[in-house]
Chain A
Amino acid sequence: MNIPASYVLSLSGVLFSLGILGVLIRRNAIVIFMSIELMLNSANLAFITFARMLGPSPEALRGHVMVFFIIAVAAAEVAVGLALIVTIFRNKETINVDEVNSLQG
């Protein structure tokens, strides 16, 4: 694909802003969590674009390795985060983040 890298980086920026918007305006904990995944994904897109841009140099593939690690860490994060959400729902009967506001459980 021969298009300017700045276009793909802009798309990455747009997706990141959408993720931030989701974290700010939604009150459902699961949707907030999915917005965080969207932001991680847009960061991955930027990594891949830079790797493609630096193409011939031997350093370029490290971008791909970094994306691989980000995906692995995201998987671990999702497992723990969803377990937390399930536990909160079991105690509070809600996953609306505005109603989960007491520290004493």
Chain B
Amino acid sequence: MTTDLAIFLGLAVISTLAGISMLLSRNSIYSVLFLVLNFLAVATLYLLLNAAFIAMVQITVYAGAIMVLFLFVVMLLGPERDQLGGPFRWQLPVAVVLAVGLMIELGFVMLSRSDGLVNAVSSLGEGFGSPASVGRLLFSEYLVPFEITSILLLVAMIGAIVLTRSGSREGR
């Protein structure tokens, strides 16, 4: 077993276990923290796949900003007791069977691919995945989508403010 494979297996186990723990923990705060762990493991995987810029964005935006927002809302709404089951008790075994079936199917399709990561790092271009290379592409070829993204974020911000504004709502 090569070192690369060992590192990958370690990260895969960490991210999968963090995902499972996120699903099973009763306390929403633990779920958020397990998801942060999962994001950090995947960010390390990005780093190993020569995607330095995306790894940094993953840590700052996903594990940082977005998960803090989740944590803030969980704290705001207070601990919610969450029982599995509810009115649709038959849903749980069906969901587990379907999800495991999908997992096996996806794994079979992916593992039966014959092509691999055959390109050594030296065959990648200079600075592959660095902030400079991604940024150059982002601000030349993808400039219009980039600007549209800024409008999307503005709309989302206004939408969030309008939805949570309390004063002018009638009654409650």
Contact = CB atoms under 8 A, between A and B. Distances in A.
Given A30-B28, A73-B149, A38 B137 contact: no
**What bracket does the count of chain A residues touching chain B fall in?**
35 or more
Interface in A22-55: 22, 24-28, 30-31, 33-35, 37-38, 41, 44-45, 48-49, 51-53, 55
Residue among B76, B129, B155, B157 with max Cβ neighbours from chain A (10 Å): B129
Contact of B31 (A14, A34, A96): A34
A17 B145 CA distance: 30
Contacts of A79: 69, 156-157, 159-160
28 contacts: A4-B117, A15-B16, A15-B42, A17-B99, A17-B103, A21-B95, A24-B98, A26-B23, A26-B84, A28-B80, A31-B22, A31-B31, A44-B58, A48-B46, A48-B51, A49-B49, A56-B124, A65-B134, A71-B61, A76-B152, A83-B161, A85-B77, A86-B77, A87-B163, A89-B77, A90-B166, A96-B80, A98-B88
Interface of B: 2, 4-5, 7-8, 12, 15-16, 19-20, 22-23, 28, 31-32, 35, 38-39, 42, 45-46, 48-51, 53-54, 57-58, 61-62, 65-66, 69-70, 73-74, 76-77, 80, 82-84, 86-88, 91-92, 95-96, 98-100, 102-103, 106-107, 109-113, 115-117, 119-120, 123-125, 128-129, 133-134, 137-138, 142, 145, 149, 152-153, 155-157, 159-161, 163-164, 166, 172
